[in-house]
Amino acid sequence: MTLATQEEIHTHPVPERLLSSSCPTPHVSSLDTYRQMWKESVEDPDKFFGDRARELLTWSKPFQTVRHGSLEEGDVAWFLEGEINACYNAVDRHALKNPNKVAIIHEGDEPDNVRKITYGELLRDVSRMANVLKNLGVRKGDNIVVYMPMIPETLVALLACARVGAVHSVVFAGFSAESLRDRVVDSSARIILTSDEGRRGGKNIATKRIVDDALRDHQTHVEHVVVYQRTGSPVPWVEDRDVWWHEETAKVRAFCPPEPMNSEDPLFLLYTSGSTGSPKGIQHSTGGYMLGAMMTLKYIFDYHENDVYACMADVGWITGHTYLTYGPLLNGATTVVFESTPTYPNPSRFWDLIQKHKITQFYTAPTAIRALRRLGDQWLEGYDLSSLRVLGSVGEPIGSDAWDWYNEKVGKGQCAVVDTYWQTETGSIIVSPLPGATPTKPGSATLPFFGIKPVILDPTTGKELNQVDETGVLAISQPWPSMARTVYNNHHRFLETYLKPYPGYYFTGDGAALDKDGYIWIRGRVDDVINVSGHRLSTAEIESALVHHEAVAEAAVIGGHDDLTGQCIHAFVSLKPHIDTNDGLEKELTLQVRKIIGPFASPKRIYVVQDHPKTRSGKIMRRILRKIVNGEHDQLGDVSTLADPSVVVVLIEKVHGPQ
């Protein structure tokens, strides 16, 4: 595949304003400096990252060895002998120096509901919660599930876990009770932190009730559920198990010493979808992860002391961990926690937020940009967005239309647009422009971050492709500090998924190509992962939810193109014998998926079919379904090897009507 549109794509130089005296001097202010630093970082990572780990992080015991292990062996470790506490680095060291600096601005669901928390207050809040956890018997290394909405207390929860050396496992509060239960069971958590309800877009979300449903009638290790009172609505209560956050924190001291952790002790688990059915608990380290979070925030968002930084991601996803919580707080920044949606109470909400808090860096997802663009430019009129310097995008490819709109309408051509590519497993951004250094090309995440050595591999031979514009799979050929260390309780799966497919490389699962300038163009997943509005879902997971329905014999799920959400879910189901299609079935199946996974996994279309396109050995050819859905059925190739080639015509008619 060639990048045909590339010639038409305009290269944008670094906006002059960023290099002028009206803005702080960028940390990296020329492409040559970037190239020089990148070269050092990959040629002598021990020196490059050793120096930065000493300079940026505060260690309670210094490390002797910067780096150990290899991608071949799957035993990568960084800053080996070092002892460090993530919460101390994110909170205490700023609170001790600058207690009145605002750490968190909470912009509540209603725009006039704003709360500011200083570093001094944050240290007390986190300490109290840490003491509560200790009183509940939490010890170093315990896993704690966090199922909470977008409120500052969610950050407090994460930091309190880190303070006592517990491993947080955040579950996005849009996941259903069943998905939550799977994650609670897999991590053997004894404690869940939640809230009575959440608020979003003027509606209440029943977080506590979902926790109750997840635990009802099931064997788990959960001993306590700590409930933060967000809305005050009455909630069901299980005596001896449930405790109120405000009651427990009122009983304890507002200081708790941080637990010294080894650099390689786990900081958190975050479950994510892969090719096979069950989600995997991606486990991150303490020292390496922190360095990745802190450095990428500093360089990629060009963070400076007086900035007000805002990331719109939910804490339930990796972006909410690295760029809402750890990255900004490790840098001592003011971070905005946004509880609402881009369109509540109207589609000016983001612009109102930026104007009100004089936001300097704004980070969101292409799906939000596309939705706002579609609603019209009038929603931006009259807003002063001149505080902005850096506009970030994450989670899925941002097409050049959305990129241009973001750049021109939001950034007024005066901001750096950083299209940041990374994954739950990479811990922090691995490909992105640097605001003061990298000329940008809309649609390309541009160049690798420090320490990242990307290669494009031939998917079948595993050989490095050096041809310009040749699409292959994206892999990384050297370990970097914030890479995931393992899959919780399943190191075998970690090796099989990321390190074994191409020995000696970390395999991303994404297709990509390099252009003549060495810019990276991400082409999307090459495995069975679907990306809907930046939410990562596995086809196998959705299929398994569908076949749970008593009427369904077999299900095949594929990703279709969608102008708004990037991809959307199309499901093809065949029914068991003697089951009649009834009008309500599609709705029932949608509900089934919502119940088992969560509302964000709802299929856009469900087709009830007699049969799937199958090979003679009975394997469903999802590739054919994908082409049919995406209007490429004139390029199906040879279908004569299918068990029943006539199925294809029937399916085309089903999806596109009589031909």
The site for ligand WTA (CB under 6 A) is made up of 272, 317-319, 394-397, 419-424, 445, 508-510, 522, 524-525, 531, 536
Question: CA 450, CA 150: separation in Å to the nearest integer?
Answer: 31
Dihedral sign, Cα of residue 281, residue 287, residue 292, residue 297: positive
Quote the crossing angle between the two packed helices 119-135 and 152-164, to the nearest 10°.
60
- The residue (of 211 and 568) whose beta carbon lies closer to ligand WTA is 568
Name the minimum Å distance from CB 498 to ligand WTA: 11
Q: Are 374 and 343 in contact (CB under 8 A)?
A: no
CB atoms within 10 A of CB 364: 24
Bridge partners, residue 417, by sequence: 391
Residue number of the CB closest to ligand WTA reads 424
Instruction: Report the number of secondary-structure helices (H) and strands (E) in the chain.
Output: 21, 30
Burial of 367 (0-12, 13-18, 19+ CB in 10 A): buried
| CB within 8 Å of 486: residues ≥ 6 apart | 74, 283, 494
Minimum distance from CB of 527 to ligand WTA (Å)?
Answer: 9
- Kindly report the CA angle at 568 between 567 and 573, in degrees rounded to 5? 140
Q: Which among 182, 236, 172 is positioned nearest to 209, based on CA atoms?
A: 236
Closer to ligand WTA by CB, 423 or 602: give it. Answer: 423
Residue with the two structure tokens 């637990």: 259
Nearer to ligand WTA, 370 or 536 (CB): 536
Task: Compute the least distance from the CB of residue 418 to ligand WTA, in Å.
Answer: 9
| Rounded least distance, CB 434 to ligand WTA, Å | 15
Query: Toward ligand WTA, which CB reaches closer, 154 or 393?
Result: 393
Pick between residue 172 and residue 338 the one whose CB is nearest to ligand WTA. Answer: 172
Distance of CA 609 to the CA centre of its chain: 34
- The three-point CA angle 223-220-490 to 5° equals 120
Partners of residue 391 on adjacent β-strands: 362, 417
Q: How far apart are the first and last CA of the chain?
A: 28
Nearer to ligand WTA, 143 or 533 (CB): 533
Nearer to ligand WTA, 224 or 453 (CB): 453
Q: How buried is residue 119: exposed, middle or buried, by Cβ count under 10 Å (0-12/13-18/19+)?
A: buried
Looking at residue 637, the DSSP 8-state letter turns out to be -
The single-letter DSSP state of residue 413 is T
Q: Considering the complex, state which of residue 525 and residue 622 has its C-beta at the smaller distance from ligand WTA.
A: 525
Cα 277 versus chain centre, distance? 19
Closest separation in Å from C-beta 473 to ligand WTA: 11
Q: Give whichever of 364 and 508 is closer to ligand WTA, judged by the CB atom.
A: 508
| Distance in Å, CB of 394 to ligand WTA, minimum | 5
Taking the least distance from each CB to ligand WTA, the nearer of 279 and 332 is 279
Strand partners, 242: 225
Please report how close the Cβ of residue 632 comes to ligand WTA at its closest, in angstroms.
Answer: 20
DSSP string, 546-577: HHTSTTEEEEEEEEEEETTTEEEEEEEEEEPT
Tokens 């050396």 appear where? Answer: 165
Give alpha helix (H) positions in 301-390.
318-319, 327-330, 349-357, 366-375
- In the complex, least distance from residue 125 CB atom to ligand WTA, rounded to whole angstroms: 28
Closest separation in Å from C-beta 302 to ligand WTA: 18
Q: Which is nearer to ligand WTA, 419 or 543 (CB)?
A: 419
- 134-135-137 Cα angle (round to 5): 65
Sequence-ordered list of residues with C-beta below 8 angstroms from that of 651, at least 6 positions apart, any chain? 572, 607, 609, 613, 624, 625, 628
What six digits make up the tokens of 229? 């009172």
What is the residue whose two structure tokens read 């926690």?
Answer: 337
* Shortest distance, position 171 Cβ to ligand WTA, whole Å: 14
Q: Please state the closest distance from residue 531 (CB atom) to ligand WTA, in A.
A: 5
Beta carbon of residue 233, minimum distance to ligand WTA (angstroms, whole number):
31
Rank residues 181 and 536 by Cβ distance to ligand WTA and give the closer one: 536
Q: How far is the CB of 393 from ligand WTA (least distance, A)?
A: 6
- CA triple 453-457-462, angle to 5 deg: 120
Closest to ligand WTA by CB, 431 or 625:
431
